[in-house]
Amino acid sequence: MAELECKDVTLGYEDRTLVEHLNFEVNTGNYLCIVGENGTGKSTLMRTILRLQKPLAGSIEYGDGLRPTEIGYLPQQTIVQKDFPASVREVVLSGCQTKAGRRPFYSKDEKKLAEVQMERLGIKELSRRCYRELSGGQQQRVLLARALCATEKMLLLDEPVSGLDPKVTAEMYKLIQMLNEQGISIIMISHDISSAVKYASHILHIGDHVFFGTVKEYQTSSIGRRYLEEA
pLDDT in tens, 111-165: 999 999 999 999 999 999 999 999 999 999 999 999 999 888 999 999 999 888 9
- Of the ranges 25-29, 71-75, 100-104, which one carries the lowest mean pLDDT score? 100-104
Task: From 201, 191, 146, select the one nearest 169 (Cα to Cα).
Answer: 191
**DSSP one-letter code for 41:** S
Instruction: Return d(Cα 38, Cα 56) in angstroms, integer.
Output: 20
CB within 8 Å of 180: residues ≥ 6 apart: 29, 31, 186, 199
- pTM to 2 decimal places: 0.92
pLDDT confidence of residue 39: 86
pLDDT at res. 15: 80
Alpha-carbon gap, residue 81 to 165, rounded angstroms: 19
Over residues 41-59, the pLDDT tens digits come to: 999 999 999 999 999 999 9
Q: What is the DSSP string of 142-183?
A: HHHHHHHTT-SSEEEEESTTTT--HHHHHHHHHHHHHHHHTT
CA 147/CA 75 separation, integer angstroms: 10
Q: What is the predicted pLDDT for the residue at 209? A: 87
Per the CB < 8 A criterion, the answer to whether 78 and 84 are in contact is no
Q: What is the pLDDT of residue 158?
A: 94
CATH code assigned to 1-66+153-231: 3.40.50.300
Residue range(s) occupied by CATH 3.40.50.300 in the chain: 1-66+153-231
Residue 65: what pLDDT? Answer: 87
Is the CB of residue 10 less than 8 Å from the CB of residue 199? no
